[in-house]
Amino acid sequence: MPDFQFATPEALDEALRLAVSERLQKAIDLRGSATLVLSGGSTPQALYRQLAETPLRWDCVTVLLADDRWVAADHEDSNEGMLRRLLLQGEAASAYFLSLCPGYPDVQANLEIVEAQVSELPPFDAVLLGMGLDRHTASLFPCSEQITEALATSASVVMTRPTTAPHQRISLSRTRLANCRWGALHIVGNDKVRVLKAIEPDAPAVTAPVSAFLPPRGSFEVWRSP
């Protein structure tokens, strides 16, 4: 498993900022556009502030979330709200943001809108995923009744309802997240590193959804710090 270790979260953020921006620029040079998928939570927030100030043809970049909480964008728990505050500012203000919740609060109408939009996108150029101590990633939670379907479906977007975290969620599916040119798992903290290292390669993905993206099932890299 490609495993990149850094001494501090700050060093990890700077390395990820460079890795992401280089991949986006390469995609723009090759194909004229790029697609970036980002996760919510607390780990990546400093990175998003730094990416926002990174000179790039952001007007050629489509940004979307790996998942969001099923709340209004102005709700304090909204990943969209966090991304608009931290990333879609400064240099990155010109990026095109594809919301996962444009039809909130109508779940079915929203699913139809977002499924049509996301399924039209090409392979993602860069995907950054986080992980919880329960081994969830995006909003693919082992505790949710929808996890088997979320890991197996050919649809791009699913609704999930975790029992160990607040809010119903909307998440890109395993299939859609894995349809990418480069993916990295952004891990900070020894607790998470221990959980990650303890995942058996043949662990059922329904009990450790993050394992669906790591070798041997997936090709995401691990980028981590204490």
Is there binding between residue 67 and ligand 6PG (CB under 6 A)?
yes
Cα 35 to Cα 49, 83, 129, 198, 213, distances in angstroms: 18, 15, 14, 32, 18
Q: Which is nearer to ligand 6PG, 138 or 150 (CB)?
A: 138
Q: Token pair for residue 166?
A: 């607040």
Residue 214 phi/psi, 5-degree rounding, is -105, 155
CA proximity to 170, closest of 66, 50, 35, 37: 66
Angstrom distance (rounded) from CA 164 to CA 172: 19
Q: Token pair for residue 175?
A: 């299939």
Applying CB under 6 A, among 35, 39, 173, 225 the residue interacting with ligand 6PG is: 39
Applying CB under 6 A, among 36, 83, 138, 193 the residue interacting with ligand 6PG is: 138
Applying CB under 6 A, among 80, 111, 130, 146 the residue interacting with ligand 6PG is: 130
Structural Rg of the chain based on CA atoms? 16
Q: Which is nearer to ligand 6PG, 60 or 178 (CB)?
A: 178
Among 114-122, 136-144, 150-158, 199-207, which window interacts with ligand 6PG (CB under 6 A)? 136-144
Chain-centroid distance, C-alpha 182: 12
Is there binding between residue 211 and ligand 6PG (CB under 6 A)?
no
Is there binding between residue 142 and ligand 6PG (CB under 6 A)?
no
Is there binding between residue 42 and ligand 6PG (CB under 6 A)?
yes
Applying CB under 6 A, among 24, 35, 36, 40 the residue interacting with ligand 6PG is: 40
Applying CB under 6 A, among 9, 41, 103, 122 the residue interacting with ligand 6PG is: 41
Q: What CA dihedral angle connects 185, 190, 194 and 195, to 10 degrees?
A: -60
Cα 204 to Cα 101, 132, 217, distances in angstroms: 30, 17, 11
Among 5-13, 38-46, 119-127, 175-183, which window interacts with ligand 6PG (CB under 6 A)? 38-46
Is there binding between residue 79 and ligand 6PG (CB under 6 A)?
yes
Among 41-49, 90-98, 114-122, 176-184, which window interacts with ligand 6PG (CB under 6 A)? 41-49
User: In 4-78, which ranges are continuous DSSP H helix?
Assistant: 9-31, 45-52
Q: Which is nearer to ligand 6PG, 66 or 126 (CB)?
A: 66
Q: Name the residues that contact ligand 6PG, by CB under 6 A.
A: 39-43, 66-67, 79, 130-132, 136-139
